[in-house]
Amino acid sequence: MSDRIDRLLIEILRFRSERDWKKFHTPRNLAISISLEAAELLENFQWQIGEEPITPVIKEGASKEIADIFIYLLSMSHDLGIDLIEAATKKLEESHARYPVEKSKGSSKKYTEIT
């Protein structure tokens, strides 16, 4: 991974180790935590109407929840031995194949629906 992400992961693992929390950070529990934090992220936008501008308060709340998700994601990918950058790169390559520009540009259809 990148140096900044590697350094962040070291800090996350140190934080977890100092508190003896690894025993709670099973893949199941981390997946649940990611899902819960994603719901908390969504809560920041819950009562917006249409395309309202993002206020500083919403942006700050979203930033905190995105950070929580990222921390749990880094922890889980580390514990499962998944290179997060490599996995994301591979997924993006798959998406390029599933959603060719000429067939998907401007469309929200799933790849199984585009012809």
Domain ranges of the chain: 3-82, 85-115
The pLDDT of residue 112:
86
| 3-82 CATH choice from 1.10.287.1080, 3.40.50.2300, 3.40.30.10, 2.120.10.60 | 1.10.287.1080
Exposure string (b/e) for 70-108, b if CB count within 10 Å is 16 or more? bbbbbbbbbeeeeebeeeeeeeeeeeeeeeeeeebeeee
**Structure letter (DSSP) for residue 99:** S
pTM given for the model: 0.88
Q: What are phi and psi of 47, to 5 degrees?
A: -110, 20
What was the pLDDT predicted at 1?
Answer: 59
Per-residue pLDDT of the chain (115 residues; tens, 9 = 90+): 589 999 999 999 999 999 999 999 999 999 999 999 999 999 999 998 888 899 999 999 999 999 999 999 999 999 999 999 999 999 999 999 999 999 899 989 888 888 7
Q: Which residue type occupies 17?
A: S
Nearest CA to 34 out of 89, 75, 2, 84 is that of: 75
Place of tokens 């998944």: 82
